[in-house]
Structure 1
């Protein structure tokens, strides 16, 4: 069933949400764990993933070792920077995990969960779920990804977000599989319920603006301060609105191969310092915890 487009949302009748620590602003830090699941000749694909530090220069059918190594850096080096920094800051985040990536490095996925972070399903491959032509094929891949993550980490994921657009039936599949939330949404500052003939799906919106992928955009971030200042501006706006009684949720997206690089990691450290400064005025939590609290107070 196609997803109905809703241009109104909550309107002015927004729910009055107070998060568990008394703050009105919830902050979700999301790290994408997808390196090794991208398009690659090495994996039997017809072409190499083009979206990276630089565009792949290899024609279809020719293996591109450079692009593979750009991705590999995220797992080899970037991951440990994030885990160490989060531990130092006492932060728990959500790692969006591609099943194929977890299959290749299950010990690294396990290290993420052992450090206290939430695993979530990010698709079997790092591809838009809108490409699925059949619901059953998509359902099998979502189940396979969930099960691979559970075996590797000992924790069954309850959340989902694919690269790009989901399919017309993704949310119905998630409801049928018992997922707690879907994050394929960019349309609000608060979680909301999406109705379906299969039942209602809790949606936790994501953000592409407070996201380090803009370092790979020609009109995006260049210096680490571009990213951290942008996130700080978002936090300032939401905290000011919270003082007037408006509740919100902010997602900040990271990639192991992007902000895992030394220069760009300065933005991560600055963002963590800003969140520490705002302690009590924001609630930094995993998406599973945000979903669980929202379910209790806004069903």
Structure 2
């Protein structure tokens, strides 16, 4: 049996393509906001177990059949407070992020969809649920892809540009291409540039996501605790990529979660970062769909 999806350890090697970002920018920077709250594992959604990851809860063992109200309420913070705080900051700073939207989460809070659309954001579908898709059947995952697209269109009026499951199955990319209508997917973490792959005889664009420049570090025991520490880390990443961009312009993804980055003690660091990137003419601060369209115009698809 072939080992699929195949792994690629070579990529662009020593000669990555010249991105030629608009305006001669040395770095294309996309900020992603993950909207997942309410779609995580929970007893109320019929999962038989509560969520265990990506919150400020230090330790959360899975206890089958029992609700975890601490975890539930920490996720609720993202939809009740966090998403509005982030939208307000982005609006004030004139920076337009991409939103990764989980269909069920949007269904539970339709007002968020209207506000996201009003901000001018593009949307990447983030699955129907914020769960691990590996155990699901191909038929069920195919159904979830369609449900997510329908929910995004219904509650935002926007056609989603791309796809990112986050916890994908081995079938995910093939099913996304089969569904059609997406410019790209983001279910890889293996490059600082987009790249094309062949899926089912079709050329398909991958715009890699990042667990590196990601506020999930606040929840992973990485030692990252404050907004200032987060600013220092992502700021250093920008500075290095700008230096490298003198010869090879790259892309950078900064990923945020409404229940993590939007805590008051972390917002100052995010605000400082937005001010830094907005003031630098060598940085193209872009939506993910804009980045993808630029790449496809340069290298085809």
**TM-score over 0.5 (shorter chain):** yes
Q: Choose the corresponding residue for 1:157, options 145, 157, 160.
A: 160
Structure 2, gaps ≥5 residues long: none
Structure 1 residues 106 and 4, CA gap change in structure 2 (3 angstroms): same
Partner of 1:193: 196
Q: Choose the corresponding residue for 2:215, options 191, 212, 216.
A: 212
Corresponding residue SS for 1:162: coil
Per-residue CA deviation, residues 249-292 of structure 1 (Å, 9 max, x unaligned), is 000000000011100112211210111232x2111111111101
Per-residue CA deviation, residues 128-176 of structure 1 (Å, 9 max, x unaligned), is 33232x3222111011101111011001112111123x22222221212
1:45 is displaced (CA, Å) by: 1.8
User: For residues 50 and 271 of structure 1, what CA distance do their matches in structure 2 show?
Assistant: 29
Q: Could you tell me the TM-score, scaled by structure 1's length?
A: 0.95
1:40 is displaced (CA, Å) by: 1.0
Partner of 1:236: 239
Corresponding residue SS for 2:24: coil
User: For residues 267 and 95 of structure 1, what CA distance do their matches in structure 2 show?
Assistant: 20
Structure 1 residues 58 and 135, CA gap change in structure 2 (3 angstroms): closer
User: For residues 273 and 73 of structure 1, what CA distance do their matches in structure 2 show?
Assistant: 25
1:198 is displaced (CA, Å) by: 3.5
Q: Choose the corresponding residue for 1:167, options 161, 165, 169.
A: 169
User: For residues 290 and 131 of structure 1, what CA distance do their matches in structure 2 show?
Assistant: 32
Cα contact 1:191–1:294 (8 A) shared by 2: yes
Q: Choose the corresponding residue for 1:93, options 94, 97, 116.
A: 97
Q: Could you tell me the TM-score, scaled by structure 2's length?
A: 0.94
Over aligned residue pairs, what C-alpha RMSD do you find?
A: 1.4
Partner of 1:71: 75
1:50 is displaced (CA, Å) by: 1.1
Corresponding residue SS for 2:105: helix
Q: How many residues matched?
A: 295
Corresponding residue SS for 1:200: strand
User: For residues 254 and 241 of structure 1, what CA distance do their matches in structure 2 show?
Assistant: 25
Detail structure 1 runs of 4+ shifted over 4 Å in the superposition. none
Structure 1, gaps ≥5 residues long: none
Alignment partner of 1:7 is 2:9:
yes
Partner of 1:251: 253
